[in-house]
Amino acid sequence: MKDPRVDAYIAKSADFAKPILTRIRAAVHKGLPAATETIKWGVPAYVDDRGIVCMTAAFKRHCAWVFWTGREPASVDVKAVRRITAAGELPGSRDLVAAVKEAAAPGTAGAKKAAKKAPKRRPAARPVKVPAYFMRALRKNTPALATFTAFPPSHKREYVEWVDSAKTDETRERRLGTAIPWIAAGKSRNWKYER
């Protein structure tokens, strides 16, 4: 189904871009007759029942044909078609149609590759090593020790790194003198900036 906004987009594009966008549009409709045209993020997008298949965009000096993540066809160099400066750089019509069919197929190579990726897992929180002088100061203040023990690792780490990063003993003692009352009051290291 054609969208008049895509016609308008192609019409207002630079002269070099018009044949590029027109050839890609024709290939999409030939390879995927059920595709619906629309404008997404200000550029033509071609959508099927599973979502966006591809998009085309015209810039000042080049055009881009971008396949949606997981739908990249293996038969086309997707990096090459992201920077097209002339219609002659496009693959032949049969190859364009084949690429669209491949991208629209339920088992595209990109979709299989995306499905095999394991979800990213957060790395386990590294243990907080509390220096002996810090623990001695905490033990002298029972509320501070109880609060510090209950803090999440991130809060503990912020205090330890702040105090321990002091370059002189004088600065370290001053920071420790500030940190213990804040910890006893249940404040995180950056409590001033919390909402």
- Domain that residue 143 falls in: 132-190
Query: Would you say 63 and 84 are in contact if contact means Cβ atoms under 8 Å apart?
Result: yes
Residue 122 counted as domain residue: no
What span, in angstroms and rounded, lies between the C-alpha atoms of 97 and 172? Answer: 69
Number of domains in the chain: 2
Residue of 70, 85, 154 whose CA lies nearest to 116: 70
DSSP string, 84-137: B-SGGGSPPHHHHHHHHHHHHSTT-HHHHHHHHSPPP-PPPPPPP---HHHHHH
Last residue of a domain, one of 60, 80, 115: 115
CATH number at residue 47: 3.90.1150.200
Looking at residue 48, its pLDDT comes to 84
What pTM was computed for the model? 0.51
At 111 the pLDDT is 44
Q: In the prediction, which pLDDT does 150 show?
A: 92
> Are residues 86 and 19 part of one domain?
yes
pLDDT under 50: residue ranges of the chain: 109-114
pLDDT for position 159: 93
Pair 52, 105 in one domain: yes
Q: Same domain, yes or no, for 38 and 77?
A: yes
- The model's pLDDT over 21-76, given as tens digits with 9 standing for 90+, comes to 888 888 888 888 888 888 888 888 888 887 888 888 888 888 888 887 677 777 77
